[in-house]
Structure formats: C-alpha cells, structure tokens
Amino acid sequence: MKAGFVQFAPEFCNYDRNLVLVEDILDASDQVDLLVLPELANSGYNFASREQAFANAEEVNDSRFIKVLHEYCRRRKSYVASGFNERVGDQLFNSAILVGPDGLIGKYQKIHLFLNEKDIFTPGEAGLPVFATPIGRLGLLVCFDWIFPEVWRILALKGADIICHCSNLVLPGFAQRSVPIHALINHFYVITANRIGSEGSLTFTGMSTIADPRGNVLYQAGPDTMELRFFNFDLEKARNKQMTPRNDLFADRRPEMYQELLKL
Ligand code: ACM
C-alpha cells in the first residue's frame, strides 16, 4: 500500500480558505491509499483565546471539512487522517480524525496538551483507538503526544501497523529525531505530518517524517516547503515483531515487572 503526508500551512482562522486549500492539494495528488495531514488542519493553531478557537471549530457530525475529505476518499477509494479542531457541545478537543470512502471512521482526542493549548482544549480521555481498515490497522496521535512513550506502546500492543501523527511541531527537531526511534522500538510505520509557516511567535518546523518498522527514515521533508510525499509500505514488516530467532518484541515483554509504572 502507498501512504504519506501533506506538509502545508493551514491559514489561521480562515476555515473557508483551508477547505479549498486541502481540497485542491488532495485533488492534485497521485493515487495514494493513505495521506496524513497536520494538526488542526481545518483551523490553524495559535489561538489568542478560547472564543477564537471555538469560532473555528466544528462538530464531527456536521463538518464541512470532513465532507471535503470524505468526497476525496470516496472518489479515490482512499483514506485521510487529519488534525481537526473539534467542538463537542461547549468543549473543544484537539483531535485527529480518520476518514475513508464511507465517511468518518473515528477520531482520537489529543491526550497531552502543549503550551497554551491547556487554556483552550479539554485533554482527551477517550483513549487510544486503533482502526482496522482494508488498508491496515491505523493508530492516531497528535503532536506533543510524541514525547510520551506509553501512548506509542499502547497503540503497538493494540496492533497498529501505522501511526498517523498529525503535528504542528515547534521545538527544534526533537520529535523528528524521536519518531524513527518510536517506529523502531515498536516495529510499526510512523507518518509525522508536520506543518510549515508561522503564527504569531510560533514558527512550525516542517521536516515531516516517514519512518519504517526498522527505524529507517524513508523520507524527511524540508523545514519550510510545501510537500506531498508517499512511499510503498509493506505491512508484514510491521506485523513481524521478531528481533532475533529467540526474541520477540511482544512475547518477551515482562508486564509484571512494569507494574511500578502505574504507581509512580
Ligand atoms: C504541539 O503539540 N502542537 C507542539
């Protein structure tokens, strides 16, 4: 299967423009089974207030953005994972959505909020789903989740073949360096779709990354170029957790020795 990312700059608080931008980028793409878009791709990121974020959010069951993604996936018989500024009643979540040929498949609400996101979004408490699709088992993470190894491991143990990591990274290359290591130690593919451009004092670092289950960087984008890139993925490489003839990444785990983690 072919999977990759779109690295671009959503326009801050310009929902209509972002719809057209995403639609145009997707329409111009080659045939790809899975594309990952950055965090908050429908709205931009650096909100001055909760009210501003609220005015640029949508509910998943009444979303023009999801309709655009659905239409693309229906026509191409493909899948898109994207960051999504999500409204649920009077709450906001920094979410990632997964859309396929039949519409919205599911969502993940960012667990670990970064900087001023803490003033705006509710931290996700709905867990870490893995979605079984005809193109593979897909897990979703959002940006700053990258620094918490627990979430990657949970998705691995739930059988994820590919992690779609929707991002608006601003720290200097830390996530881009760690993503191949998460891919290696969990033996899955990771697609980090980061954005480019600046909003206020924040400059986004680009360098979207595709890493394979052996920790190889298949591709890393430039720091400030718009790019759509994809590669052939062999999901058998993600499903084979054998390290040596006598070591299996999962079978060799000793969960009884990790209980302390829950108490510290
Ligand atoms: C981030 O979580 N947007 C850095």
In the reported structure, the alpha carbon of residue 208 is separated from the centroid of ligand 1 by a whole-number distance in angstroms of 14
pLDDT, mean of residues 227-240: 98
Q: Where are the beta strands (DSSP E) in 110-262?
A: 130-133, 136-142, 162-166, 189-193, 198-199, 202-203, 209-211, 217-220, 227-232, 242-244, 247-248
Residues 223 and 18: their CA atoms lie apart, in Å, by: 21
Residue 45's pLDDT is 98
pLDDT in tens, 19-28: 999 999 999 9
User: How many domains, in total, are found in the chain?
Assistant: 1
Domain that includes residue 93, residue range: 2-262
Q: Which of 43, 108, 114 to mutate to test the pocket of ligand 1 (most atoms within 8 A of CB)?
A: 114
Q: pLDDT-based confidence at 168, cuts 50/70/90?
A: very high
Q: pLDDT-based confidence at 123, cuts 50/70/90?
A: very high
Residue 161's pLDDT is 98
Residue 71's pLDDT is 98
In the reported structure, the alpha carbon of residue 243 is separated from the centroid of ligand 1 by a whole-number distance in angstroms of 32
* Whether residue 168 has its Cβ less than 6 Å from ligand 1: yes
In the reported structure, the alpha carbon of residue 160 is separated from the centroid of ligand 1 by a whole-number distance in angstroms of 22
Catalytic residues: 39, 110, 143
CATH number at residue 207: 3.60.110.10
* Whether residue 143 has its Cβ less than 6 Å from ligand 1: yes
Q: Name the residue type at position 52.
A: Q
Residue 246's pLDDT is 98
Residue 257's pLDDT is 97
pLDDT in tens, 59-117: 999 999 999 999 999 999 999 999 999 999 999 999 999 999 999 999 999 999 999 99
Residue 162's pLDDT is 99
Task: Tell the residue nearest (CA) to atom 2 of ligand 1.
Answer: 144
User: What's the chain's average pLDDT?
Assistant: 97
Q: Report the atom number in ligand 1 closest to the C-alpha of 169.
A: 4
Residue 247's pLDDT is 98
Residue 196's pLDDT is 98
